[in-house]
């Protein structure tokens, strides 16, 4: 159910980030189907909200890191960071280089997110997960997300966020303000029962991915299943669910003039679904791929 994606790197050393950016750049250069750019999720995060990210990989967004993130590249770049851990002006410089910036793994106050928005922050990574929550006197990241035009990624697997909570978010943001994120890991499309993540064993337990301590480690979720879950769990129409998987993320990444809709002049990235929502066939740039 995916025709375009951002390979995602969680918090790691700068040398690894540089190699990952170079690898994605090379993939785009040779025309690897579906690769739109890269998502650098950390390490400029709040260690108190790190989730599965390793605490020893957290670091400040300094000039050495900025040089790597703002260098010329192919494709789109999404950077997830905690604005309370970033010096004023840094987000604006990232946006000026062509990157999209989202808040995530953050304990920021409402005012800190508002200030980041003024610098060009446009997204929220994994709304409700690993961030300061909506409170009576301090709205936190969640409150800032729901009270603004920030585009919010959501993981609709029935585990990361309660369907009731997501239904409320959908009422406030609408399909144009929420985009589906799989947070998929290497087990998707395979029958493996475990895999390694930065030296830790991640276990596949039915439809959940956890480490030895029970911490969620990504999601056992395909995009086709995410679309189906939006209909089944959130009560949305299939059209709304599909928009959240296509048109909304394309617009967020600045690609709405190229893909995300079926319209003359846009790239023929298409998914054919069966009546029950399974993927029958996909096309990337007009080239068919059999499921």
Catalytic pick among 12, 107, 157, 183: 183
In which element (H, E) is residue 290 found?
Answer: strand 287-290
On whether the CB atoms of residues 215 and 35 are closer than 8 A, the answer is no
In order of 23, 120, 121, the CA distances from 89 in angstroms are 28, 10, 11
In order of 127, 151, 175, 230, the CA distances from 163 in angstroms are 13, 19, 15, 9
What is the DSSP code (8-state) at residue 210? E
Query: What six digits make up the tokens of 124?
Result: 């929220």
The total of other beta-carbon atoms located within 10 Å of residue 233's CB is: 17
Q: Is 196 annotated as catalytic?
A: no
Query: Side-chain half-sphere of 177: how many Cα atoms within 13 Å?
Result: 16
Which residues, other chains included, contact 161 with Cβ-Cβ below 8 Å and sequence gap of 6+?
A: 127, 128, 129, 154, 155
Q: Which residues are catalytic?
A: 183
């Amino acid at each position: 159910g995916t025709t375009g994606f951002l390979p995602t790197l969680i918090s790691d050393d700068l040398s690894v980030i540089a190699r990952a950016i170079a690898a994605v750049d090379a993939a785009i250069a040779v025309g690897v189907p579906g690769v739109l750019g890269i998502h650098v999720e950390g390490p400029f995060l709040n260690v108190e909200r790190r989730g599965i990210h390793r605490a020893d990989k957290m670091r400040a967004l300094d000039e050495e890191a900025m040089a790597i993130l703002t260098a010329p590249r192919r494709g789109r770049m999404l950077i997830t960071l905690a604005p309370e851990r970033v010096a004023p002006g840094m987000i604006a410089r990232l946006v000026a280089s062509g990157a999209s910036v989202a808040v995530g793994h953050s304990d920021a106050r409402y005012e800190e997110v508002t200030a980041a928005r003024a610098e060009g922050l446009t997204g929220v990574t994994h709304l409700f997960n690993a961030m300061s929550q909506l409170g009576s006197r301090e709205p936190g990241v969640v409150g800032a997300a729901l009270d603004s035009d920030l585009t919010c990624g959501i993981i609709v697997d029935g585990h990361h966020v309660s369907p009731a909570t997501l239904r409320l978010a959908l009422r406030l943001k609408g399909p144009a303000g929420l985009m589906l994120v799989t947070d998929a890991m290497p087990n998707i499309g395979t029958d493996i029962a475990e895999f390694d993540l930065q030296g830790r064993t991640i276990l596949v337990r039915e439809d959940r991915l956890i480490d030895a301590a029970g911490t969620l480690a990504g999601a056992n979720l395909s995009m086709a299943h995410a679309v189906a879950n939006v209909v089944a769990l959130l009560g949305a129409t299939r059209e709304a669910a599909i928009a959240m998987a296509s048109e909304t993320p394309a617009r967020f990444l600045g690609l709405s003039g190229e893909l995300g809709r079926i319209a003359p002049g846009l790239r023929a990235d298409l998914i054919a679904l069966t009546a029950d929502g399974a993927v029958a066939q996909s096309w990337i740039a007009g080239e068919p791929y059999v499921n």
